[in-house]
Amino acid sequence: MTTYIAQFHAVHNRIEIAQQSCFIWRQESGEIDNHLLEEKIKRESSIHFYKMLVEGQQEITFEDITVKVWSTETFSG
């Protein structure tokens, strides 16, 4: 297993705050599938970020969030 780090940017279609952060994950060595990675970030990070922002005052769904991975590299930290 190899550990990777990604820099990403997430936006919500109704909330005017963007999430810019890093995401660390492990996978078997090989090609990084950016689409799968974007979905993983959305599921494991961004959905929770936006739910915290609205404090239960509106429903947050996966379809409302768009994630763009800016860069990836191996991580040894």
Q: How much is the pLDDT for 28?
A: 87
Q: How much is the pLDDT for 29?
A: 75
Helix residue ranges per DSSP H, the chain: 34-41, 47-54
Q: Which residue stretches of the chain have pLDDT < 70? A: none
Q: Closest Cα to residue 5, out of 17, 27, 19? A: 27
Residue in the structure block whose two tokens are 């705050």? 17
Q: What's the pTM value of the predicted model, to 2 decimals?
A: 0.88
Q: How much is the pLDDT for 30?
A: 80
Q: How much is the pLDDT for 56?
A: 81
